[in-house]
């Protein structure tokens, strides 16, 4: 999978949204995301400054772009999308050039 694509979405939540509620809403998208062609893995993290990162690995750029187009349209993503401050969203796709994992 040398041409895997990393999708990085950074954002902040709307005021009053709890971390637990957002994580629960994200987990509701699992079946949908797992069913998308080219899905490899996904992680969600939050920094000390309140910024979140949704980090997804796709098999290739076509799969990543198609998923990015479908994701906001899916019924299961509506709650999650409402919790995000749209003014803070940044999405980018990058081709993975190297990877290291635990031995």
* Calculated CA dihedral for residues 29, 30, 34, 38, nearest 10 degrees: 60
Q: What is the pTM of this model?
A: 0.92
β-pair type (52-58, 5-11): antiparallel
Taking residues 81-101, what's their average pLDDT?
Answer: 96
Give the pLDDT score at 80.
97
pLDDT reading at 49 higher than 70: yes
Domains of the chain and any CATH numbers = 5-95 (3.30.70.100)
> What per-residue confidence (pLDDT) applies to 2?
63
Specify the pLDDT at position 54.
98
pLDDT at residue 13 greater than cutoff 90: yes
Q: Mean pLDDT across the stretch 56-70?
A: 97
What's the chain's average pLDDT? 96
**Helix, strand, coil content of the chain in percent (nearest 5):** 40, 30, 35
């Amino acid at each position: 999978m040398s041409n895997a694509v990393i999708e990085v979405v950074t954002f902040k939540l709307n005021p009053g949204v709890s971390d637990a509620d957002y994580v629960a809403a994200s987990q509701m998208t699992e079946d949908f995301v797992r069913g998308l062609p080219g899905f490899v893995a996904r992680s969600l993290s939050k920094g000390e400054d309140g910024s979140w990162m949704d980090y997804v690995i796709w098999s290739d750029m076509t799969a990543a772009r198609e998923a990015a187009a479908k994701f906001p349209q899916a019924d299961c993503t509506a709650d999650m999308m409402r919790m995000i401050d749209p003014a803070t969203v940044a999405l980018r796709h990058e081709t993975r050039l190297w990877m290291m994992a635990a031995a």
